[in-house]
Amino acid sequence: MSIKEKFLTSRAERMAYGGFFVGQNIIFIFVLQYLTMFYTDIVGLAPAAVGTLFLVARVWDAVNDPILGAIVDRSNFKSGKFKPWINAVIVLMPIATIAVFWNVGGGSTSNLVYAYITYILWGMIYTISDVPIFAIATVMTDNIDERVSLISIGRFAAGIAALIAAALGAPIIEALGWTTATIVLMVIAFAVMLPVRFLVRERIVYERKETVNLKSMIQAISSNKYLMIFYLAFIIMGSLNTSSVAGIYFATYNLGSLELFMIISFIGMSPMLVIPVILPALVRKFGKKNIYMTAVILGIVTCVAQYFIGYENFALFLVLSAIKGIGLMIPGTMMGLFSADCVEYGAYVTGRRNEGITFSVQTFSVKLGTAFAGFFGTVLLGYYGYVPNVQQSERALDGLWKMMTIYPAVGLIIAVIIVGLFYKLKESDVRRMIEEMKVKNA
């Protein structure tokens, strides 16, 4: 295959596509890492109230995410199927994030009501950003290798975003305060997302034979067994990744410095700069499932080793954190690849290309996993006796350490069992399905 055949998209287009992921993930990582502490230590919400908020928001997502995905599937604007949604959220998502991190300074009830409204609204806008940006890769090209390259570019960009959020988050908060720091980061996110509005093109048009309704939504998900298998494992793994909640507390109280959270986050997320670059070649050589299984097993081993070794040797702790990051991040990096395969499998089985619904399951799974992690994490904070802004008890410190290591290991173990036993879709199967559908449509 020649370079021209492999890359139908231009270099500028691929850079703009990656740029959107940089901005989007600056926002996502900042919310993921800092929102819980903002709610508990700045706004003054009780950990149990924060956990309940995350849980309620995700129950709402269970209702609205597939609906939003179906709306995307039914859309047919003159400027494209997915681009108009992407263009809108370039503006809406930064604004919604600033609103989430705005301390209105009211009473406990009014603060909680404001948190519910802004966080739920943020989640809906994030869905509208996430579904089209992944789905648009399926209409930018119908070449499966180029799709892998595009999505890998997006994941590499997400890694850059994670490092930006890790490097800038804590120092900017310390220097400027929470609200101003959020505004600065949102301006950066907006600036790097904006080029996608002008450069990314939709090339492939698929004929849609049926309208999307509730019945077809349920059928699209329930008939796609590999979609359900992969994201069941992903949700469980994400739900028990309590290190995403505990990290900022661990740095502040176990290590004694909020600014050390910057170092921990930066090191833990550093594999994201390498993984997307080498992932396409690894997938072509070993297959998605083999890469996934190897990475998750590595994550399990490292989590357990880290727990028993401890964190007194900070340098060794950072090395193990980097290795653990491979196991925790590769499944997330590969989401779009598995989802794209599931789009083709669903189209092959049902005759309908439900890109919006399929990628809304991906978005919903990410948000559900992080919300359950937030819920379990805040419940565990209360269980282990965490008290904001004071020296923590030994029990609380030990609980934070378990949240950093043991609970994520359990989630990884369950995920590797589910995918290992039940996910059977291979790259060769997907290529065969695409070719058979082309012949059938012709």
3-state secondary structure labels for all residues of the chain: CCHHHHCCCCHHHHHHHHHHHHHHHHHHHHHHHHHHHHHHHHHCCCHHHHHHHHHHHHHHHHHHHHHHHHHHHHCCECCECCHHHHHHHHHHHHHHHHHHCCCCCCCHHHHHHHHHHHHHHHHHHHHHHHHHHHHCHHHHCCCHHHHHHHHHHHHHHHHHHHHHHHHHHHHHHHHHCHHHHHHHHHHHHHHHHCCHHHHCCCCCCCCCCCCCCHHHHHHHHHCCHHHHHHHHHHHHHHHCCCHHHHHHHHHHHHCCCCCHHHHHHHHHHHHHHCHHHHHHHHHHHHCHHHHHHHHHHHHHHHHHHHHHHCCCCHHHHHHHHHHHHHHHHHHHHCHHHHHHHHHHHHHHHHCCCCHHHHHHHHHHHHHHHHHHHHHHHHHHHHHCCCCCCCCCCHHHHHHHHHHHHHHHHHHHHHHHHHHHHHCCCCHHHHHHHHHHHHHHHC
Widest CA span of the chain, in angstroms?
A: 69
Question: What is the C-alpha to C-alpha distance for residues 145 and 248, in angstroms, rounded to an integer?
Answer: 38
Question: What is the C-alpha to C-alpha distance for residues 352 and 356, in angstroms, rounded to an integer?
Answer: 11
What pTM does this model have?
0.71
What does the pLDDT look like over 397-414, one tens digit per residue? 999 999 999 999 999 999
> Which residue is it, tokens 């009501």?
113
Question: What is the C-alpha to C-alpha distance for residues 288 and 331, in angstroms, rounded to an integer?
Answer: 10
Q: Give Cα separations from 177 to 37, 169, 298 (angstroms).
A: 13, 10, 38
Question: What is the C-alpha to C-alpha distance for residues 241 and 238, in angstroms, rounded to an integer?
Answer: 5
Count of residues making up the chain: 442
Question: What is the C-alpha to C-alpha distance for residues 58 and 4, in angstroms, rounded to an integer?
Answer: 43
Amino acid sitting at position 104: V
10-19, 36-45, 128-137, 254-263: range with lowest mean pLDDT: 128-137
Q: Please determine, for residue 179, whether its predicted confidence score (pLDDT) is greater than 80.
A: yes
Residue range 308-331: mean pLDDT, rounded: 90
Predicted local confidence at residue 216, as pLDDT: 64
Predicted local confidence at residue 394, as pLDDT: 94
What does the pLDDT look like over 118-165, one tens digit per residue? 999 998 898 888 778 877 877 887 777 787 778 778 877 877 887 788
Predicted local confidence at residue 4, as pLDDT: 41
Q: How confident is the model at residue 291 (pLDDT cuts 50, 70, 90)?
A: very high
Q: How confident is the model at residue 260 (pLDDT cuts 50, 70, 90)?
A: confident
Residue range 84-111: mean pLDDT, rounded: 92
Question: What is the C-alpha to C-alpha distance for residues 316 and 342, in angstroms, rounded to an integer?
Answer: 39
Predicted local confidence at residue 10, as pLDDT: 80
Q: Please determine, for residue 2, whether its predicted confidence score (pLDDT) is greater than 70.
A: no
Q: Please determine, for residue 349, whether its predicted confidence score (pLDDT) is greater than 60.
A: yes
Residue of higher predicted confidence among 11 and 251: 251
Predicted local confidence at residue 442, as pLDDT: 67
Mean of all residue pLDDT scores within the chain? 85
Residue 414: exposed, middle, or buried by beta-carbon count in 10 A (0-12, 13-18, 19+)? middle
> Which residue is it, tokens 């979609």?
227
Predicted local confidence at residue 328, as pLDDT: 82
* Contact assessment for residue 276 and residue 159, using Cβ atoms and an 8 Å cutoff: yes
Question: What is the C-alpha to C-alpha distance for residues 200 and 293, in angstroms, rounded to an integer?
Answer: 33
C-alpha radius of gyration, the chain, whole number: 21
In this structure, the number of other CB atoms found within 10 A of the CB of residue 389 comes to: 9
Predicted local confidence at residue 213, as pLDDT: 57
Calculate what percentage of the chain has a pLDDT beyond 90: 34
As given in the structure block, the two tokens for residue 440 are 């059938």
Residue range 53-60: mean pLDDT, rounded: 83
Residue 36's closest CA among 250, 222, 233, 205?
250
Q: Give Cα separations from 104 to 98, 125, 144 (angstroms).
A: 12, 21, 48
167-176, 295-304, 352-361, 411-420: range with lowest mean pLDDT: 352-361
Question: What is the C-alpha to C-alpha distance for residues 332 and 163, in angstroms, rounded to an integer?
Answer: 16
Q: How confident is the model at residue 387 (pLDDT cuts 50, 70, 90)?
A: confident
Residue range 263-285: mean pLDDT, rounded: 80
Predicted local confidence at residue 76, as pLDDT: 73
User: CB-hemisphere CA count at 13 Å for 101?
Assistant: 28
* Contact assessment for residue 333 and residue 274, using Cβ atoms and an 8 Å cutoff: no
